[in-house]
């Protein structure tokens, strides 16, 4: 009877292997503030990415509209985001989002995610500027 238990245990371990090998966040983007016209970098990195796993950046501003914009896939940035770029070593799983010449309209929530990795965290970007009344 005992070997049945041992067999069950081994099978359970085998079933867990894909979970153990799955990619996970090494660095999650952190909420930050930036002065208008400055450059800001939101950091994001994963461990254990496989070649088929794509890191995406999204942006949405709940205060203006609820549209979720797709900024980038891997290192490729959508043309409408001309001030945005992906920096870092993709070999090391780094997909940092750099925004230069930050404008008030860049404010909102930024999400760095991989489809297969759960619990994507949102980082809030606050743009600080001199507001003309
Ligand atoms: C940002 O740049 C614009 C255009 O060059 C300028 O008018 C404005 O004063 C700048 N704002 C700040 C806070 O530097």
The set of residues, in sequence order, having a beta carbon less than 8 Å from that of 92 and lying 6+ positions away, is 45
Boundaries of domain holding 42: 23-128
Quick check: is 9 in a domain? no
Percent of the chain topping pLDDT 70 = 81
Q: How many CB atoms lie within 10 A of CB 110?
A: 24
| Residue 110 confidence (pLDDT) above 90 | yes
In this prediction, residue 123 carries a pLDDT of 97
For ligand 1, the distance from its centroid to the CA atom of residue 37, given in whole angstroms, is: 6
Q: List, chain by chain if needed, residues with CB within 6 Å of any ligand 1 atom.
A: 36-37, 129-130
| Residue 107 confidence (pLDDT) above 90 | yes
Q: Rounded CA gap, 19 and 73, in Å?
A: 24
For ligand 1, the distance from its centroid to the CA atom of residue 28, given in whole angstroms, is: 30
Quick check: is 4 in a domain? no
Quick check: is 5 in a domain? no
Quick check: is 123 in a domain? yes
Quick check: is 75 in a domain? yes
For ligand 1, the distance from its centroid to the CA atom of residue 16, given in whole angstroms, is: 54
CATH of the domain at 95: 2.60.40.10
70, β-bridge pairs: 58
Quick check: is 62 in a domain? yes
Return the residue whose CA atom lies nearest to atom 7 of ligand 1.
37
What average pLDDT is seen over the chain? Answer: 88
For ligand 1, the distance from its centroid to the CA atom of residue 103, given in whole angstroms, is: 9
Q: Rounded CA gap, 133 and 125, in Å?
A: 22
Quick check: is 109 in a domain? yes
pLDDT tens profile 87-105: 999 999 999 999 999 999 9
Q: What's the DSSP call for residue 49?
A: -
52, β-bridge pairs: none
Give me the number of domains the chain comprises: 1
Q: Which atom of ligand 1 is nearest to the CA of 129?
A: 13
Pocket test of ligand 1: the residue of 33, 36, 38 to mutate, having most ligand atoms within 8 Å of its CB, is 36
Q: Rounded CA gap, 34 and 104, in Å?
A: 10
Q: How many CB atoms lie within 10 A of CB 46?
A: 21
In this prediction, residue 16 carries a pLDDT of 59
Quick check: is 71 in a domain? yes
For ligand 1, the distance from its centroid to the CA atom of residue 87, given in whole angstroms, is: 25
């Amino acid at each position: 009877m005992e070997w049945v238990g041992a067999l069950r245990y081994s099978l359970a371990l085998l079933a867990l292997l894909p979970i153990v090998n799955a990619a996970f966040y090494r660095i999650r983007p952190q909420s930050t503030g930036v002065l208008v016209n400055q450059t800001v970098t939101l950091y994001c990195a994963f461990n254990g990415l496989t070649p088929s796993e794509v890191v995406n950046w999204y942006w949405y501003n709940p205060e203006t509209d609820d549209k979720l914009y797709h900024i980038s896939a891997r290192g490729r940035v959508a043309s409408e985001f001309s001030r945005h770029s992906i920096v870092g070593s993709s070999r090391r799983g780094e997909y940092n989002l750099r925004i230069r010449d930050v404008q008030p309209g860049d404010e909102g929530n930024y999400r760095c995610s991989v489809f297969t990795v759960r619990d994507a965290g949102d980082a809030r970007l606050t743009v600080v500027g001199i507001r003309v009344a």
